[in-house]
Amino acid sequence: DQQVKQNSPSLSVQEGRISILNCDYTNSMFDYFLWYKKYPAEGPTFLISISSIKDKNEDGRFTVFLNKSAKHLSLHIVPSQPGDSAVYFCAAGLNNAGNMLTFGGGTRLMVKP
């Protein structure tokens, strides 16, 4: 049973436009959510996170929104740049239970110049 799902395996966006990546989870116990970016031949890199006590967190061009009632989070990238082309993973965990993360399957974002 996949507790964290990213239903879109890929997304193509024009440079300068907004990229919206979505993630759904089923375990209501999760209280901390993260987004990681992965380039080929590299490990995932932390991008942005959000606690379940918030519904929005912003860091530069990246904003994560959390809708607890819908068990849904999204990552907005504005404006999108070609260097943002990568695989994006959402992950969820329990803040007080160590560093164990449950990952979604990933969304490949392609930003076209």
Partner 1 sequence: KAGVTQTPRYLIKTRGQQVTLSCSPISGHRSVSWYQQTPGQGLQFLFEYFSETQRNKGNFPGRFSGRQFSNSRSEMNVSTLELGDSALYLCASSSGQFLAKNIQYFGAGTRLSVL
CB of 26 or CB of 95, closer to partner 1: 95
106 binds partner 1 (CB under 8 A): yes
Contact flag: residue 113 with partner 1 (CB under 8 A): no
Minimum CB separation of residue 39 from partner 1 in Å reads 10
Q: Chain-centre distance of CA 61, in angstroms? A: 13
Q: How many CA atoms lie within 13 A of 26 on its CB side?
A: 7
Cα 64 off chain centre by: 7
Q: Which of residues 55-84 bind partner 1 (CB under 8 A)?
A: none
Gap between the Cα atoms of 36 and 45, Å rounded? 5
Strand order of the sheet with strand 4-5?
Answer: 4-5, 19-25, 72-77, 62-67, 56-59
Q: In this complex, which beta carbon is closest to partner 1, that of residue 83 or of residue 98? A: 98
Q: Which is nearer to partner 1, 15 or 65 (CB)?
A: 65
Interacting residue ranges for partner 1, rule: CB under 8 A? 32, 34, 36, 41-46, 49, 51, 89, 91, 93-106
